[in-house]
Chain A
Amino acid sequence: DARVTQTPRHKVTEMGQEVTMRCQPILGHNTVFWYRQTMMQGLELLAYFRNRAPLDDSGMPKDRFSAEMPDATLATLKIQPSEPRDSAVYFCASGPPPGGQGWDQPQHFGDGTRLSIL
């Protein structure tokens, strides 16, 4: 059963440190999404890639967050410097090519990285 793999599953670090989260999308999926989930805000879209090109990163604080896809099997989300308000669960999701109707589907989610910034 194909899965989206995220590493690390948990990360605790001090404020000001760099945090890197990694995602391996499902083979053959050409869209990748990064989401942040908190109790207060729910799921928020941070970044969205299609064929490794960024399509939307308007939900991401640009001064400290960056998202990249160095190749089709790896997506990264970095926070530098990290702050306590970044504490959340970060999810990566991937989706297949959109098909005729042009709709990208965040179809498969990984199990997330639980990030705590002290």
Chain B
Amino acid sequence: QKEVEQDPGPLSVPEGAIVSLNCTYSNSAFQYFMWYRQYSRKGPELLMYTYSSGNKEDGRFTAQVDKSSKYISLFIRDSQPSDSATYLCAMSVVRSPGNQFYFGTGTSLTVIP
């Protein structure tokens, strides 16, 4: 079983829709939860990160973490064609000497004008 599971999609929505992207994980030790956006032929860019459970909002983006269910979500409100990209979830546990990081395989999103 992979440490992080993410539905690859593809997901296609009309402009203005609310998008929900999700990941599940198996390691209860994960402490930091991240979402990255990756445009075609580009590197991932960090969108948001949260520590432990709860919600975090940044503009049209909301990240949710439910540690009891080992489930994280990214919501995009009022989706725009420029949001079309692959979204990667990632998780981290702080260890010594170095932290451990795990990425989902990404969900491809297309927002249709």
Contact = CB atoms under 8 A, between A and B. Distances in A.
B10 interface: no
Of the listed residues B99, B100, B102, the one surrounded by the most CB atoms of chain A closer than 10 A to its CB is B99
Contact of A101 (B44, B51, B97): B51
Interface stretch (B14-22, B59-67, B77-85, B103-111): B103-111
Interface stretch (A13-21, A39-47, A65-73, A80-88): A39-47
B72 interface: no
> Size range of the interface on B?
20 to 34
Interface in A64-118: 91, 93, 101-112
Contacts, number: 61
Contacts of B29: none
A38 B20 CA distance: 24
A103 B46 contact: no
B88 interface: yes
A50 B98 CA distance: 8
B103 A43 contact: yes
B43 interface: yes
A104 B99 contact: yes
Contact of A108 (B32, B46, B88): B46
The 4 closest A-B pairs by CB, nearest first: A55-B98, A109-B43, A42-B105, A43-B103
